[in-house]
Amino acid sequence: MNPTARYTARYTAMKYMAIKYTAILLLSVLPGAGCEEKVIYEESPEAGSIHVSNITGNTLRVCTGETFRIEMRVQPPAAESGEQIKYAYVSGNEEIFTVTADGTVRGVKPGEAVLRIEALHRESLKTAVMVSVTDRLYPVTEIRIDERLKDLTLAVGDEIRPDSYVRVLPENASDKGYTLESSHAQTLAVTPSGSVKALALGDATLTLKATDGSGVTATGHISVKEPVYAAHDRSAWTVTPSHALPDDAAISNAPGSLIDGNPATCLSLVKPGKSYGGISVSADEEVHFIIDMQAETTLNYIRITHRTSNPQLYLRVWGVTLYGSDDNNRYTPIRENIPIVYDGVNDYTVRMIEESHCRYLKVQYTDWSKQSGSTIQVAEFEAGQYSFRD
């Protein structure tokens, strides 16, 4: 090759390199080319810029609770050297995502924040990407109801919350809500609070439908029948009140008055924060009575009766919690915060859907008149088992 040809070839190559690197430099400053300043090398063998190679565009997308490991690359590839580059990672908002020293991003809560990345010992090499965190949606695949709700019998007035009979799957479903629908609203009503109440004798199908749009449903059958009550023999029972009893000759105040069959007598206990008949009870004390039924007993209802000789509501118990025990030491809740509603009569029956088995029955007062009266009075207490007429 003659000298003129060699000079022309060398000039053409140099001109090509100048055009190439000018184009790279222009791309680095154009809008949308990157989130941070990129340093472009010219004739140096050093790396010119860094970028995250395992994402599309300039946004890393991750779900809450999940992780993503960053992979870094040098740009352009021709500038790679044999040296291993180490990076520092900084989260712009750790409430949105966190990042470890090895570049593992973990989504914390939905939102967006910037991830800044810098090559250690090379301050000129840095970049940034947007991290977008979203919740992963897991649809409902099954509404599983237990055998009790598949064929349940209630009495008029009974009210249940289906939550205790229902399991929504999978456990990590994003929306585990469901709606309730009764096939006969006159027999079985769905209340605004999400419970189901028996209104009249009859049968109804209860349909549960997932609210996440998955279309998953389940059904249960509920019959409403008339209950028949069988009270347990109380002759051997003993009653132990939580406090000493105030003197009140008019009502024959005594523990045994609670089970003597005489609605004119009663067990009278001083209300918390009150004093009466020589007895004072502090406001933070619990007031209750315990019945020893002498042997393990099966029951699914109780009945509380107010004294007939004084109908005043402020003397009545308005709410109770029931506990059962086998040893009079460790008590387990049977049913909590039961409202006692007399509705113009002197007694109120509390039906339990599930049977309980215990020797000792503790009845704790949870609600009463705070405005008037100093005592809470109960004339009669019974417990037993009910069944349904066919």
185 and 215 in a single domain? The answer is yes
What is the structure's pLDDT at 372? Answer: 93
253 and 381 in a single domain? The answer is yes
Closest CA to 68 of 84, 52, 57: 52
Tell me the pLDDT of the chain averaged across its residues. Answer: 86
Domain-ending residue, one of 200, 225, 250: 225
Query: What number is the average pLDDT over the span 50-71?
Result: 91
What is the structure's pLDDT at 24? Answer: 36
The domain in which residue 370 lies consists of 230-388
Q: Is the pLDDT of residue 277 over 60?
A: yes
DSSP label at residue 2: -
Q: Is the pLDDT of residue 316 over 60?
A: yes
- pLDDT tier at 75, thresholds 50, 70, 90: confident
E strand or H helix at 18, and its extent? helix 3-29
Query: What number is the average pLDDT over the span 258-287?
Result: 95
Domain-ending residue, one of 107, 134, 161: 134
Query: What number is the average pLDDT over the span 276-292?
Result: 96
Q: Is the pLDDT of residue 326 over 50?
A: yes
Give dist(CA 206, CA 200) in Å, integer: 15
Q: Is the pLDDT of residue 41 over 70?
A: no
In a domain, 14, yes or no: no
344-377: string of b/e by CB count within 10 Å (b at 16+)? eeeebbbbbbeebebbbbbbbbbbbeeeebbbbb
Structure tokens at 377: 């009075």
Give dist(CA 70, CA 240) in Å, integer: 70
Give dist(CA 209, CA 178) in Å, integer: 5
Of 47 and 163, more confident: 163
151 and 247 in a single domain? The answer is no
Q: Is the pLDDT of residue 35 over 70?
A: no
What is the structure's pLDDT at 354? Answer: 87
- pLDDT tier at 80, thresholds 50, 70, 90: low
Degrees to nearest 5, angle at CA 119 with 113 and 125:
90
Query: What number is the average pLDDT over the span 194-223?
Result: 96
Is residue 208 within 8 A of residue 140, CB to CB? The reply is: no
HSE-CB of 53 using CA atoms within 13 angstroms: 9
Interacting residues of 140 by C-beta distance below 8 A, sequence separation 6+: 168, 169, 170, 173, 175, 176, 210, 212, 214, 216
384 and 237 in a single domain? The answer is yes
Q: Is 223 exposed, middle or buried (0-12, 13-18, 19+ CB in 10 A)?
A: middle
Is residue 381 within 8 A of residue 320, CB to CB? The reply is: no
211 and 272 in a single domain? The answer is no
197 and 149 in a single domain? The answer is yes
In a domain, 4, yes or no: no
Structure tokens at 261: 């069959």
181-211: string of b/e by CB count within 10 Å (b at 16+)? ebeeeebbbbeeeeebbbbeeeebebbbbbe
Predicted TM-score (pTM) of this structure: 0.64
What is the structure's pLDDT at 276? Answer: 94
Q: Is the pLDDT of residue 352 over 70?
A: yes
Give dist(CA 65, CA 67) in Å, integer: 7
Domain-ending residue, one of 175, 198, 225: 225
Tell me the CA distances in angstroms from 85 to 60, 71, 168, one per residue in order. 21, 12, 49
In a domain, 6, yes or no: no
- pLDDT tier at 82, thresholds 50, 70, 90: low
In a domain, 15, yes or no: no
In a domain, 195, yes or no: yes
State the total domains in the chain. 3
In a domain, 263, yes or no: yes
Q: 129-151 pLDDT, tens per residue?
A: 999 999 888 999 999 999 989 99
Q: 43-52 pLDDT, tens per residue?
A: 334 456 888 9
Closest CA to 234 of 334, 302, 331: 302
